Amino acid sequence: MKIGLIGTGTVGGGVVEILEQKEKEFRDFLGVRLEIACICAKSEEELAPFKAKGYTVTTDAFSMIQDPSIQVIVELAGGYEMPRKWITAALENGKHVVTANKALIAKYGHELFPLAEKNHCHILFEAAVGGGIPIIRSIQESFVGNTVESLSCIINGTCNYIMTRMKESPLSFEAALKEAQEKGYAEADPTFDVEGIDSAHKTAILASLCSRRYVDFESIHVTGITSITSQDIQNAKELDCTIKLLGIFNRVGERIDVRVHPCLISNDHLLSNVNGVLNAVFLRCDNLGPTLQTGAGAGRLPTASAVIADLVSLARRTDSGKSVPLPMGWFNKENAAKLLPMEETEARYYFRFTTRDRRGVLASITGILSENQISIESIIQKNVKDPGKVDIVVITEKTAEKNAVAALEAIDALAEISEKSQMIRFLV
Amino acid sequence: MKIGLIGTGTVGGGVVEILEQKEKEFRDFLGVRLEIACICAKSEEELAPFKAKGYTVTTDAFSMIQDPSIQVIVELAGGYEMPRKWITAALENGKHVVTANKALIAKYGHELFPLAEKNHCHILFEAAVGGGIPIIRSIQESFVGNTVESLSCIINGTCNYIMTRMKESPLSFEAALKEAQEKGYAEADPTFDVEGIDSAHKTAILASLCSRRYVDFESIHVTGITSITSQDIQNAKELDCTIKLLGIFNRVGERIDVRVHPCLISNDHLLSNVNGVLNAVFLRCDNLGPTLQTGAGAGRLPTASAVIADLVSLARRTDSGKSVPLPMGWFNKENAAKLLPMEETEARYYFRFTTRDRRGVLASITGILSENQISIESIIQKNVKDPGKVDIVVITEKTAEKNAVAALEAIDALAEISEKSQMIRFLV
């Protein structure tokens, strides 16, 4: 199988490296021949080390895509406007596509998958979600005899590293972010990760796979981790919980509930112990029950390893005659999922209120909660941080989101409340 | 795809149930038509409920196997002498095979896989190891761009249930076994599970997949969990560890190290928190790094769900023309792995010695350990259980197995040692 590779960055370089390591093994052991026919990058400089090794190189992606000897385009360039054009051209030229581009799949999957289907081409994207965790293949193939009832995932390594260091060390959010940046686990501009956008792309893709419906990632509720304080982490510890940024999918009758936000997870849940840059996906299926997969969520070789798995799978399928791609037409907007509005969700809530005067305000807070039909499970007065400041932590029983939001707004309007109050949902 | 099903027990019934649930979905969504053409069991009584629903039934497996309209035989009968004959006949008749029979694969894989290869037939066995955990497909397909460096697995739900209850409750081994039997998690004769034989079958299969060599399960070291006492569990807790029965695979140069025995696992390792009847497989790969998969290891619908995944995969492959099975010739005895002898392994060890007189014996014990080149990491004198009895727990530094065994033998020969001493390896 002849491959046209676009992108010579971290993952692209990793794919070339693994193919050099294992190409002979694939040939001898699997009878699969994977050959990089051409490598494309933006500049001659980026291509120079590959040219020096004898690879055919180009800076013209479209001419490579039109090369009739190439059967599959591997897109590892990042961004999405150019990849969208390249992949459209590849599919129109009858070429299969392997990509690690979650933003592209989340944003333009609804036009690319129907096009692939029309042209009898595969788009494989195991590397796009969870790096080395084979979650796409698991949902599509291994768990095919199941209906996925719910999914919770730790799907952004940057956020998980920050949350882990805030708990372990303990560091402040800012210090943990700085450490992540120094170690190369966070970008100079970390917005995309810490605001939950990357998690939303991946969660939308997983929710699509689980529901077999189009999920518009722009319609799902997203809260990042920037408002989580060391005090919240410490309070969670005292509740025998850990705070993680989760992507969540639930079936609720005919509708689905998809969201990304920090969660308090009980320490006896397997997800609570997935630390550092590791990712994890916890699924609950009708026949299988609960399953968890964890592994590297990003990085050169783990992500490249997922691309290689897609390439080997494609080669094995296409080598044995015509190959019918898995139906992905449900990424089509006409097949959109009905999303449960956030205000209709329910959870147990952790509230943290900061006040100057505990005695006066407690009656007001509990009054507002009561007016909003919120039952209190426990109240903890926390140690004073600054002189004259008191934290009050309230854990609620199961509450409707709209009531929680209304109560929080009313409490934040009290004169005695000195900072914006915190609200974090429990996983269960 | 027309299916001949042998076995109407727990898993066989589950397969029929899931096909009834999802057959329409497979047809509409995947374009895959799975049809149970015939069901075979030992007696008319077992077949009666299926016959009542309109299925074609038979008590003659061989006539079903020879039916030219059937493309795949699903073997869920258990045992191994008859399944060996059925599957041999099926392969000779050019039929694919799906089985959940780990004992059969471990014992006769070396003759069945080469026969399958000769006849261009698939043998799929996802359900044989780890029930609902898609570990076979993950190793063969998702991790194909990797060399598996090591594997540790909790692969027997009965033992994991017992170890969990001994820790949580805490119960004695006998009480935990009794509870497992009452809940249907252990057989009336639990030997096969608690002595580690079932784990050895599964570990041998996984080691074969990881090494791509034939691994004779009868050559691997197996210790079960029957000697683990409540005191050991308690001591492990104090060391911030959990005891689990593990299947282990390591690459050691050109040889492989495969064994099954209880291990002390540090509580910050993900495996330590896999509880109850759950199974888990922890892998370390060259490119991917560490990964863990956990889920139901047994049970009607989880196991049936793995059989269904194999059937759908087979239907999708064979529907699209000729399909090349994955090479499995390495199950052939000519391709046997070189096993590292147990005495050449190394570990940190937990020893528990029971004595009547601590002061006198401690010098003898430490003397013997020293003579055997064993360095001590820590010594803990444990509370007296019976009047006049003292437990001495010794944690060693990394030690050669042959030295540990020699020291233990010498210590057990001391007059002051009143019970057979305990030896448990640390995972790392």
One-letter amino acid at B202 equals K
What pLDDT is recorded for position A414?
92
Examine residue B387 and state whether it is found in any structural domain, yes or no. yes
Examine residue B64 and state whether it is found in any structural domain, yes or no. yes
Examine residue B338 and state whether it is found in any structural domain, yes or no. no
Examine residue B356 and state whether it is found in any structural domain, yes or no. yes
Q: Do B28 and B155 sit in the same domain of this protein?
A: no
| Rounded Cα–Cα distance for residues A321 and B387 (Å) | 76
What pLDDT is recorded for position B140?
93
What pLDDT is recorded for position B322?
65
Which residue on chain A is closest to B131 by alpha carbon? A288
Q: Which residues pair with B294 in a beta bridge?
A: A292, B280
Does residue A121 surpass a pLDDT of 80?
A: yes
Radius of gyration of chain A (CA): 24
| Rounded Cα–Cα distance for residues B425 and A317 (Å) | 44
What pLDDT is recorded for position B316?
87
- pLDDT per residue over A135-156, tens digit each? 999 999 999 999 999 999 999 9
CA dihedral B71, B77, B81, B87 (to 10 degrees): 10
What pLDDT is recorded for position B384?
58
- pLDDT per residue over A184-198, tens digit each? 999 999 999 999 999
Q: Which residues of A touch B285 (CB under 8 A)?
A: 305
Q: Do A264 and A311 sit in the same domain of this protein?
A: no
Q: Maximum CA pair distance of chain B? A: 78
Q: Number of residue pairs across A and B with CB atoms under 8 Å? A: 164
Mutation target among B15, B33, B142, B212 for the A interface, most CBs of A within 10 A: B142
Mutation target among A265, A271, A274, A288 for the B interface, most CBs of B within 10 A: A288
A256 within 8 A of A131, measured Cβ to Cβ: no
Catalytic: A202? yes
Which domain CATH number covers A107? 3.40.50.720
Q: Do A286 and A180 sit in the same domain of this protein?
A: yes
- Number of domain units in chain B: 3
Q: Do B202 and B84 sit in the same domain of this protein?
A: no
The shortest C-alpha distance from B91 to chain A (Å) reads 20
Structure tokens at B165: 């209850």
What pLDDT is recorded for position B361?
87
Which domain CATH number covers A222? 3.30.360.10
Q: First vs last Cα of chain A: how many Å apart?
A: 47
Using the Cβ of A59 and the Cβ atoms of chain B, whether some distance falls under 8 Å is answered with: no
Give the structural domain span for B239: 135-296
Report, as an integer, the average pLDDT of A386-415.
92
A351 within 8 A of A405, measured Cβ to Cβ: no
What pLDDT is recorded for position B385?
62
B256 within 8 A of B213, measured Cβ to Cβ: yes
A358 within 8 A of A366, measured Cβ to Cβ: no
CA A415 to chain centre: 39
Q: Do A38 and A87 sit in the same domain of this protein?
A: yes
Report, as an integer, the average pLDDT of A166-180.
95
Cβ contact, residue pair A308, B144, below 8 Å: yes
Which domain CATH number covers A413? 3.30.70.260
Examine residue B336 and state whether it is found in any structural domain, yes or no. no
Count of residues in chain B:
428
Which residue on chain A is closest to B310 by alpha carbon? A142
The shortest C-alpha distance from B388 to chain A (Å) reads 39
Report, as an integer, the average pLDDT of A348-372.
90
What pLDDT is recorded for position A316?
87
Cβ contact, residue pair A273, B268, below 8 Å: yes
Q: Which residues pair with A250 in a beta bridge?
A: A150, A257
Q: Do A304 and A235 sit in the same domain of this protein?
A: no
Examine residue B212 and state whether it is found in any structural domain, yes or no. yes
Does residue A334 surpass a pLDDT of 90?
A: no
Q: Do B122 and B139 sit in the same domain of this protein?
A: no
| CB-facing half-sphere around the CA of A279: CA atoms within 13 A | 27
Pairing relation of β-strands B72-75 and B221-222?
A: unpaired
Cβ contact, residue pair A309, B31, below 8 Å: no
φ/ψ of A176, rounded to 5, equals -65, -40
Q: Which residues of A touch B288 (CB under 8 A)?
A: 132, 295-296, 301-302, 305
The shortest C-alpha distance from B361 to chain A (Å) reads 41
pTM (predicted TM-score): 0.95
Q: How confident is the model at residue A358 (pLDDT cuts 50, 70, 90)?
A: low
What pLDDT is recorded for position A397?
97
CA dihedral A106, A107, A113, A119 (to 10 degrees): -140
Cβ contact, residue pair A145, B274, below 8 Å: no
Exposed (0-12), middle (13-18) or buried (19+): which is B206, by Cβ within 10 Å?
Answer: buried
Q: Which residues of B touch A288 (CB under 8 A)?
A: 132, 295-296, 301-302, 305
Pairing relation of β-strands A35-40 and A57-58?
A: parallel
Q: Do B225 and B283 sit in the same domain of this protein?
A: yes
Q: How confident is the model at residue A320 (pLDDT cuts 50, 70, 90)?
A: low
Structure tokens at A71: 């059967």
Among A285, A262, A323, A300, residue whose Cα is nearest residue A124: A323
> Mean of the per-residue pLDDT values for chain A?
93
Cβ contact, residue pair A306, B30, below 8 Å: no
Cβ contact, residue pair A317, B320, below 8 Å: yes
One-letter amino acid at A9 equals G
Exposed (0-12), middle (13-18) or buried (19+): which is A350, by Cβ within 10 Å?
Answer: buried
Which residue on chain A is closest to B306 by alpha carbon? A142
Q: Do A281 and A181 sit in the same domain of this protein?
A: yes
Q: How confident is the model at residue A50 (pLDDT cuts 50, 70, 90)?
A: very high
Cβ contact, residue pair A296, B289, below 8 Å: yes
Q: Do A144 and A265 sit in the same domain of this protein?
A: yes
Examine residue B225 and state whether it is found in any structural domain, yes or no. yes
Cβ contact, residue pair A321, B321, below 8 Å: yes
A208 within 8 A of A135, measured Cβ to Cβ: no
| Rounded Cα–Cα distance for residues B249 and A220 (Å) | 43
Does residue A390 surpass a pLDDT of 90?
A: no
Q: Which residues of A touch B151 (CB under 8 A)?
A: none
- Within the 89-118 window of chain A, which residues sit less than 8 Å (CB to CB) from chain B? none
Q: Do A206 and A238 sit in the same domain of this protein?
A: yes
Inter-helix orientation angle B358-371/B401-412, to 10°: 150
Which residue on chain A is closest to B330 by alpha carbon? A29
Of A321-335, A374-388, B236-250, highest mean pLDDT: B236-250
φ/ψ of B358, rounded to 5, equals -65, -45
DSSP label at A126? G
Cβ contact, residue pair A302, B293, below 8 Å: no
Higher pLDDT, A281 or A357: A281
Examine residue A339 and state whether it is found in any structural domain, yes or no. no
**Residue A348 region by backbone torsions, left for phi larger than 0, else alpha for psi between -120 and 50, else beta:** beta
Using the Cβ of A317 and the Cβ atoms of chain B, whether some distance falls under 8 Å is answered with: yes
The shortest C-alpha distance from B8 to chain A (Å) reads 18
Q: Which residues pair with A152 in a beta bridge?
A: A248, A282
Enumerate the active-site residues of B. Answer: 202
What pLDDT is recorded for position B330?
66
Q: What is the mean pLDDT of each run of 10 residues along chain B (428 residues)?
A: 96 96 92 95 96 97 96 94 97 96 92 92 95 94 96 97 95 96 94 96 95 92 97 95 98 96 95 95 97 93 96 85 70 88 96 82 93 95 72 95 97 91 95
The structure tokens 């249907």 sit at B184
Q: Do B36 and B140 sit in the same domain of this protein?
A: no
Contact residues for A306 (Cβ-Cβ < 8 A; gap 6+): A100, A126, A127, A131, A132, A134, B142
